[in-house]
Amino acid sequence: MNRGNVLLLSAVPGVGKTTFGLNFLEEGLKEEQPGIAMVTDFSPEDLISMASAFRYDWEKHVESGLLKVVDCYSHMLGEEGTSQYFVENPENLTRVGRTLREAQDPDSSGRMLLDSASTLLLLSTDVTGVKFLSSISARLKRGGFDSLFILEGGVHDSIVAQRLRYLLDGVLEKMAEVMYQSGFDSGYDFSTAIASMSELSGGQILDEYLRVASVRGWGRFTVVKADLEIGEFIIQMQSSIVEEFAPGSGKVCHIWRGIFAGIVQTALESLDKTGTLESEETRCMADGDPYCEIRVKIDY
224-242 pLDDT, tens per residue? Answer: 999 999 999 999 999 876 6
Beginning with the edge strand found earlier in the chain, give each strand of the sheet holding 35-39 in spatial order: 85-86, 67-71, 35-39, 110-115, 145-152, 6-11, 170-172
CB atoms within 10 A of CB 58: 24
Pairing of strands 292-299, 276-283: antiparallel
Closest CA to 164 of 5, 3, 7, 2: 7
What are the phi and psi torsion angles at 97 (to 5°)?
A: -65, -40
Report domain extents, the chain: 6-173, 176-299
81-127 pLDDT, tens per residue? Answer: 889 999 999 999 999 999 999 999 888 899 999 999 999 999 988 88
The predicted model gives 248-277 an average pLDDT of 90
User: Which distant-in-sequence residues (6+ apart) come within 8 Å of 235 by Cβ?
Assistant: 206, 210, 221, 222, 223, 224, 260, 293, 294, 296
132-174 pLDDT, tens per residue? Answer: 999 999 999 999 999 999 988 778 877 787 787 777 766 555 5
pLDDT band at 252 (very low <50, low <70, confident <90, very high): confident
The predicted model gives 188-194 an average pLDDT of 92
Q: Which CATH number is associated with domain 6-173?
A: 3.40.50.300
Positive or negative torsion for Cα 86, 90, 93, 95: negative
Report the C-alpha gap between 32 and 63 in whole angstroms. Answer: 14
Report the C-alpha gap between 137 and 195 in whole angstroms. Answer: 41
Mean pLDDT of the chain: 88
pLDDT band at 269 (very low <50, low <70, confident <90, very high): very high
Homologous superfamily (CATH) of 176-299 is Trafficking protein particle complex subunit 3 (3.30.1380.20)
Whether residue 205 is predicted with pLDDT greater than 90 in this model: the reply is yes
The predicted model gives 215-221 an average pLDDT of 87
pLDDT at 153: 74
Closest CA to 8 of 123, 175, 186: 175
